[in-house]
Amino acid sequence: MEISEITERALKEFGSADTESALEEAYNKYLSKKGEISQLMSQMGKLPKEEKASFGKAVNDARNAATAAYQAKRAEIEKKKLAERLEKEAIDITLPAKNKNIGHINPYYAVIDEVTDIFLDMGYQVVEGRDVETDRFNFELLNVPKDHPARDMQDTYYLEGSDLLLRTQTSAAQAHTMLEKEVKTPIRMISPGKAYRRDDDDMTHSHQFAQIEALVVDHNISMANLKATLELFAKKMFGEKREIRLRSSYFPFTEPSVEVDVSCFACGGKGCKTCKGTGWIEILGAGMVNPKVLEACGYDPKEWSGFAFGVGVERVAMLRYGIDDIRRIYTDDVRFLKDYIGK
């Protein structure tokens, strides 16, 4: 049988093989040690010497052609198998994903962030205070000496055997800021943070709560500056239609002192359940910085004046979001966050 005929037949069978088994069968038939092409070399010994070289070359060419055809077909079959496997194991990325419960920011932080942004826009500096304070900074520098009756309203937690205590107000940061200034310069700051007082835990009270205290110290600061600042804050926080009113009050660290009410944002000042029929809602305490506080903190009250006020974060959150129980703010219940913040 001629070499060209065997080669032609081998190439045809390799080309028509469409499975691995058919391809291996053709390989065994032509290219294995006992295959037809390999057996051609056994005829070499019967040929005249002058024909051996050309015969050997023809056999090698036939083997190379058949081997190339076998390898090409094997690569084609493996590629086809891989494509079928990928199609079978493919993930349909167009399918909708499983829903995940997404949390929401707590009202505590939502109010702090919003109030902070308002005062940053007004040029105020944010000062972080200390949760653990000394009696001096928490009380004495703020015109609340030992045995002062005002301490009864701010009964707190002391560390045993020391004058250290959990601060009852973030106002202590104001005293730190004033005293740290070796060269006395104007101050415009807020200090958000937690405060602690021994109190009953009920729907409207908590032993831990948050305040944002503000302090402005400069030359010729008056109640007019305080009122203008509070009006701007109320409109930015509660809406452009909101109005404020000041009512005389008492705080040891301010003189004169006022309670600040905002017109009810639920009824527009007409009177409703939210404002208890008055048309007004109390939101903070404020006043002109007491000259004794300025003097104790190194500012000459004859040259400097200022105002201060404190916002109760949870109170604003309860009014803003209609929260009926202050304790819910601290439960970390995702359902609560979704109901009030994620609407």
Element (H, E) at 210: strand 208-218
User: Does residue 261 carry a pLDDT above 80?
Assistant: yes
Q: Is the peptide bond before 149 cis (omega within 30 degrees of 0)?
A: no
Please name the helix (run of DSSP H) or strand (run of DSSP E) that holds residue 319, with its range, or none: helix 313-321
What is the model's pLDDT at position 287? 96
Give yes or no for residue 343 having a pLDDT over 60.
no
3-state class of 158 per DSSP?
Answer: strand
pLDDT of 1 strictly over 70: no
Share the mean pLDDT of the chain: 86
194 phi, psi to nearest 5 deg? -90, 150
**Alpha-carbon gap, residue 229 to 70, rounded angstroms:** 88
Tokens of 175: 């005293």
Q: What percent of the chain has pLDDT over 90?
A: 36
47-54: average pLDDT? 79
How much is the average pLDDT of 215-242? Answer: 93
Strands 187-196 and 254-263: unpaired
Query: In this predicted model, which residue has the larger pLDDT, 43 or 245?
Result: 245
pLDDT for res 202 = 56
Residue-wise pLDDT for 83-96, tens only, equals 888 888 877 777 77
CA triplet 108, 155, 203: central angle to 5 degrees? 40
Q: Which residue has the higher pLDDT, 80 or 199?
A: 80
pLDDT above 60 (res 342): no
pTM of this structure: 0.66
* 1-5, 73-77, 125-129, 254-258, range with the lowest pLDDT: 1-5
Q: Are 264 and 272 in contact (CB under 8 A)?
A: yes
Among 5-14, 133-142, 146-155, which is the least confidently predicted range?
146-155
